[in-house]
């Protein structure tokens, strides 16, 4: 999931100069889980904007606004309200914001209400933990399902740096050394031979931006 953090109301209203009538878009998945773009946050945003002198003419919460079909469907249902609006404030990640912009047929001003932080898993305690860098060249099959690109402070692909102390990272003493975690996990599975695998240099062409993949 994409972890987001809501921007301040001042940052949002500063982006709305020249606009008074606002339509709100939330996100039923990631932003709802992060408590930055669900039903409650839409209601609170409406109150804050109205207190600041804006008029909220409508809102919608697609399950995933980053999916074009979903945002198009919601916009079609809300076309009457959108025709009244001057701007769309999106309480979602940057993907949701850009999807709303791409699928807005009225040329409205589209403004983000959140900052996108990172992709994460949600652990058993409900915390958001960054574990994948979306690098385009996964090595998890060789590293016991532990990503060194993300969890190693130096992003080392071929073993530890040698600076770890008592299992902790040289760069951050509060964090476990990713490669020691990998070693221990491989050891448990009797797969230590995998520590001898030499990973080639990262092919940065795989992360050349912007990327597009067709699944048709």
Residue-wise pLDDT tens digits, 17-52? 999 999 999 999 999 999 999 999 999 999 999 999
Domain assignment of residue 216, yes or no: no
**Buried b vs exposed e over 119-157: b needs ≥16 C-beta within 10 Å?**
bbeeeeeeebeebeeebeeebeebbbebbbbbbbeeeeb
Domain assignment of residue 146, yes or no: yes
| Two structure tokens written together for 64 | 């995933």
- The verdict on 102 and 44 lying in the same domain is yes
- The verdict on 14 and 107 lying in the same domain is yes
pLDDT tens sequence across 170-197: 999 999 999 999 999 999 999 999 999 9
Domain assignment of residue 177, yes or no: yes
Domain assignment of residue 102, yes or no: yes
Among 85, 87, 88, 22, residue whose Cα is nearest residue 49: 22
- The verdict on 39 and 9 lying in the same domain is yes
- The verdict on 113 and 8 lying in the same domain is yes
CATH code for position 55:
3.40.50.2300
Domain assignment of residue 76, yes or no: yes
Q: Say how many residues make up the chain.
A: 216
Structural domain range at position 62: 2-117
- Are 1 and 30 a contacting pair, CB within 8 Å? yes
Say which residues have a Cβ less than 8 Å from residue 13's Cβ, sequence separation at least 6.
Answer: 49, 52, 54
| Rounded mean pLDDT for each run of 10 residues along the chain, 216 residues in total | 94 94 97 96 98 98 96 97 97 94 94 91 88 87 93 94 94 95 94 94 80 66
Q: Measured between alpha carbons, how far is 65 from 94 in angstroms, rounded to an integer?
A: 10
Domain assignment of residue 168, yes or no: yes
- The verdict on 27 and 58 lying in the same domain is yes
Percent of the chain beyond pLDDT 70?
98
- The verdict on 7 and 68 lying in the same domain is yes
Domain assignment of residue 7, yes or no: yes
- The verdict on 96 and 41 lying in the same domain is yes
- The verdict on 108 and 141 lying in the same domain is no
Q: Measured between alpha carbons, how far is 148 from 204 in angstroms, rounded to an integer?
A: 16
- The strand pair at 2-6 and 128-130 is best described as unpaired
Q: Using the 8-state DSSP alphabet, how is residue 153 labeled?
A: T
pLDDT of the residue at 135: 85
């Amino acid at each position: 999931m994409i972890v987001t953090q809501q921007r301040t109301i001042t940052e949002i209203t500063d982006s709305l100069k020249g606009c008074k009538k606002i339509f709100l878009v939330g996100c039923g998945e990631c932003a709802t889980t992060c408590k930055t773009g669900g039903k409650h946050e839409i209601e609170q945003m409406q109150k804050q904007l109205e207190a600041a002198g804006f008029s909220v003419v409508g809102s919608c919460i697609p399950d995933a606004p980053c999916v074009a079909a979903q945002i198009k469907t919601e916009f079609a249902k809300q076309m009457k309200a959108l025709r009244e609006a001057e701007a769309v404030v999106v309480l979602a990640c940057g993907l949701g914001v850009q999807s709303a912009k791409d699928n807005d047929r009225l040329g409205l001003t589209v403004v983000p209400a959140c900052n996108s932080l990172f992709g994460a898993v949600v652990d058993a305690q409900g915390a958001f933990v960054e574990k994948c860098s979306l690098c385009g060249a996964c090595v998890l099959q060789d590293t016991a399902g532990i990503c060194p690109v993300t969890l190693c402070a130096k992003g080392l692909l071929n073993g530890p740096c040698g600076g770890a102390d008592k299992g902790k990272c040289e760069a951050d003493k509060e964090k476990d050394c990713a490669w020691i975690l990998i070693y221990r996990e491989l050891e448990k599975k009797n797969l230590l031979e995998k520590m001898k695998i030499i990973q080639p240099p990262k092919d940065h062409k795989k992360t050349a931006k912007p990327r597009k993949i067709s699944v048709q």
